[in-house]
Amino acid sequence: MKREQKTDNDIKRIMKGRAARTLAAAVSVFLCILTLFEYTALRMEWDVPALAVISGGDGFWSGVYQKEELAFDDSTENILLGDEGETPEDGNRQRDDVTQGGAEASDAGKAQDGGTGAETSDVGRAQDGGTGADTREEKMSEGTEADSGTGENAQESDAPQDGKEASDVGETKEELEFPYYIRINRRQNCITVYTPDEDGEYTVPYKAMICSTGLYNATPRGTYQISTKYLWRELYGGVYGQYATRIHGGVLFHSVPYYSRSKNSLCTDKYNKLGQQASMGCVRLTVEDAKWIAENCPEGTTVEIYDDDDPGPLGKPEAMKIDSDNPNRGWDPTDPDEDNPWHEASQDE
């Protein structure tokens, strides 16, 4: 009897352990399938709202995506953009031109000064000595008066104006180093740009933009400072973005992707998703808005990414939808390029 009871207890214990292992195995399989599905959905840009809830506040794949995106930093397809809206090559070329122009001007000035000096000397010798002396005295007298006046004016201009101390002027210049503060509402997929108020706080709404943040919260929340800028940048998936500006790691502002590094190869279906989560983590914009950020917000400008049901004080702008049959569909309608056929279409209307 005791032996039978012991056997029953052993069987129950084994079954409990087997059930626990079976349950653990089932949960593991489910999580693997869910992870694979989320990975596939992100890569294929499928919009499955339930996955955003499962992913939580900051998407599971955000770190993985950033590593993959960072791998394209060294791509030979990238074209860097400076804070002045020029590529480094253009900047160097302009500086070389200025240097050469300055040297030529200096040589011309020396030659001219030499010739003028010789001619003046010859004229002076030909004139009467007394007259020459009087002329020199008059010029010296006029020069002294002019120098005296200039000195007084210089002292006056150096003095603080409007009662501002020199320290105040320095602080104002420092405040203007970063004229804008960018807030990205991840939930509403829109951006509000702020400028400083009288106290130097970024409370004055200046500009609103529509955007697409990362699917399943792949765009990480937080506060960052922008850095590297690109005129063109190769992106994950074999596509390209215009006016890319790094927010943090592999997360960038950039235009809606293009199939090639050509302005007439826009991914129209991705453009039509502006205003909803659609990317793998980057913040997609119209060309007009991406260009504005790249050219007006210097490196070090603060970007805050947050969630809120309220789109912001300026609301959420709308982007036009591009018909797949439209002959201009390869172009971003906001691209200011003079060859953009959308400009002619708007003028005809």
Bridge partners of 301, per DSSP, are none
Write down the catalytic residue from 190, 211, 267, 282: 282
Residues 6+ apart with CB under 8 A from 285: 191, 209, 210, 211, 253, 254, 255, 256, 274, 293
Write down the catalytic residue from 254, 267, 297, 343: 254
- Examine the residue annotation and report whether 343 is marked as an active-site residue of this protein: no
Backbone angles phi, psi at 251, to 5 degrees: -100, 125
* Residue in 292, 312, 297 with CA at minimum distance from that of residue 226: 297
Burial class (CB in 10 A: 0-12, 13-18, 19+), 216: buried
Distance separating alpha carbons of residues 191 and 208, to the nearest angstrom: 5
- Examine the residue annotation and report whether 254 is marked as an active-site residue of this protein: yes
Q: Give me the active site residues, please.
A: 254, 282
